[in-house]
Amino acid sequence: MNEQQVSQLLQAMAAQTKAMNRLAESNEALVTIIVQTLEEEEGIDTTSLGGNYLSGKPRG
């Protein structure tokens, strides 16, 4: 690979990483809504599901 190809690859990888982070944030928001719905509308105790996401960030 020449220098230009490496640069293009790194740019593509950075864009892909940003997209994956956006997807993870979207998934996290969706899980929060589902958990809230289970708690509020279904009366399900979700405390046994764990209190943190894999990232370590507190759930909810």
7 belongs to a structural domain:
no
Round to whole Å and give the CA distance between 17 and 11.
Answer: 10
Domain containing 29 equals: 16-40
Query: Is 70 exceeded by the pLDDT of residue 60?
Result: no
pLDDT tens-place string over residues 2-47: 999 999 999 999 999 999 999 999 998 998 898 889 888 888 887 7
49 belongs to a structural domain:
no
Structural domain total, the chain: 1
24 belongs to a structural domain:
yes
33 belongs to a structural domain:
yes
59 belongs to a structural domain:
no
8 belongs to a structural domain:
no
pTM above 0.85, yes or no: no
Q: Which residues have CB under 8 Å from 36's CB, separation 6+? A: 60
Structure tokens at 50: 């764990």
Rg (CA), the chain: 18
